[in-house]
Amino acid sequence: MLLAKKVAIVTGGAQGIGRATVERLAKEGAKVVVADVKDKEGNAVVAALKASGSEATYFHTDVSERLGVYNLIASARDAFGKVDILVNNAGTLDNVSFLELEEAEFDRVLRTNIKGAFLISQAVAKQMVRQCQADENCAPGAIINVTSINSRFGLPEHTAYAVSKGGLEQLTRSMAVALAPY
C-alpha cells in the first residue's frame, strides 16, 4: 500500500470530491481524518471506511475558525500520532449575479475557501515541521489544495467563488516557495 503508516486530513471530506479523496487515501493505506461541518455525512463516511477495515475518524470542523483548525490537528495527533498529508478540499459557492452579490455573501465564500485553506495549511505545516525536527528520518509531508477551472474563468453567478479559487492558486504558489526548505 502506497500510503501505509501515513495520516491524512481531508477537509470537506464528507461528500463529493472530498469523499472520493478520503476513500482513495484509505484504499492506499492511509489513516484518514475526515473534517467537515456535515456531521451525518462525515460520520457515515467514517463508518463505511471502518467497515472495510480502514482506520478513520470524523471531526466537525469549520476551517474558517482558527480554534476549530487547532482542535482538528490536536484530534488527528491524538487519534493517529501525526499528520503527513493535508487535502484542502472544503469549499463553498455563491450563486448570485455580480450586481446582486452582497458583501456578507462575498465574505462567507472567501472565509471558507481562502482563509480556511490558509489557517489549516499554516497549522498543519507547523505540525509537519515539528515532526521532522523531532525525527531526522522524517519524510516530508504533502499539502494539496483543490482548486477549480473557475480560478481562471469567471462565471457571472459565482464571482466570489472564482475570486476565492484564484486566490487559492496564488496561496498554493506562495506556500510552495515558503515551505520548500522543509
Contact call for residues 59 and 34 (beta carbons, < 8 A)? yes
**Cell triple for 60:** 466537525
**Options 58, 70, 161, 182, the catalytic residue:** 161
Q: Is 58 one of the catalytic residues?
A: no
Give the C-alpha distances (Å, rounded to integers) separating 72 from 33, 100, 121, 151, 154. Answer: 9, 35, 12, 28, 33
Give the C-alpha distances (Å, rounded to integers) separating 89 from 19, 120, 146, 148, 172. Answer: 10, 11, 5, 11, 13
3-state secondary structure of 139: coil
Q: How far apart are CA 102 and CA 36, in angstroms?
A: 25
Cite the active site residues.
161
